Amino acid sequence: MILFYSSDKDGRRINGVDFLVNELLLPHVKHFGPVSNRICYMRIADKYGDLILICVYAPTETGSNDEKEMFFEELERLYDKLPNHCIKIFLGDFNAQVGNDIMYKPWVRGESAHYISNGNGMRLIEYAIAKDLIITSNFFPRKLYKIHKVDKIYKHT
C-alpha cells in the first residue's frame, strides 16, 4: 500500500486528506494533486476513460464562515480546472447534514438520517446545484434515531 497525503504547506499535518492505494492499482494512477490540507485529488486511468477522485475534509459546522467560504472556493477552482470528459467522484467528509427536503430531491439521492439540512448541508446542496452534481450518502434506509431521556443510571457491580 502506498499513501498519497496532502497537508499544510508548512508540514504541520493539521487536518490532512489522503489516498491509500494498493500496489496493484498503482500503475493506473496518472496523477496525484495535493491542493490543501482539506482537498486532494487523484486521476486514475480506466478502460472507459479517466476517473478523478476528489478527497475532501470540510470545516465543521462550528468553523468560521471565512474558512468555509475558502474551502468551497478552493473546491470550485479545482473542479473547474479538471477535464470535463473525466468522471469525477467526491469522497471524504463534507461535515454536512443533508435533510429530506423534497425540493432538493433532483440533487440529493438515497436515504438521509436527518430531517433538515444544517448550514454545511445547504452549502453542499447549493454547490451541487451550481455544478449539476448529485449528492449521495447512503442508498440503504437508516433508522432515524430519537433521543431518549435517561431517568436512572445503574452501575454494574
Of 42-46, 61-65, 111-115, the range with the lowest mean pLDDT is 111-115
Of 55, 63, 60, the closest CA to residue 37 belongs to 55
Total Cβ atoms within 10 A of residue 106: 11
* Over residues 7-29, mean pLDDT: 81
Residues 6+ apart with CB under 8 A from 114: 97, 98, 99, 100, 121
Give the per-residue pLDDT at 29: 93
Residues 58, 71 contacting (CB under 8 angstroms): yes
**Positive or negative CA dihedral for 6, 12, 13, 17?**
negative
- Please give the Cα distance from 49 to 59 (Å, whole number): 32
User: Average pLDDT, whole number, for the chain?
Assistant: 80
C-alpha cell at 99: 435533510
- Please give the Cα distance from 107 to 142 (Å, whole number): 19
Of 42-51, 75-84, 109-118, the range with the lowest mean pLDDT is 109-118
For residue 137, the Cα-to-chain-centroid distance in whole angstroms is: 10
* In the chain, beta strands by DSSP E: 2-6, 17-21, 29-34, 39-44, 51-57, 87-93, 108-109, 135-136
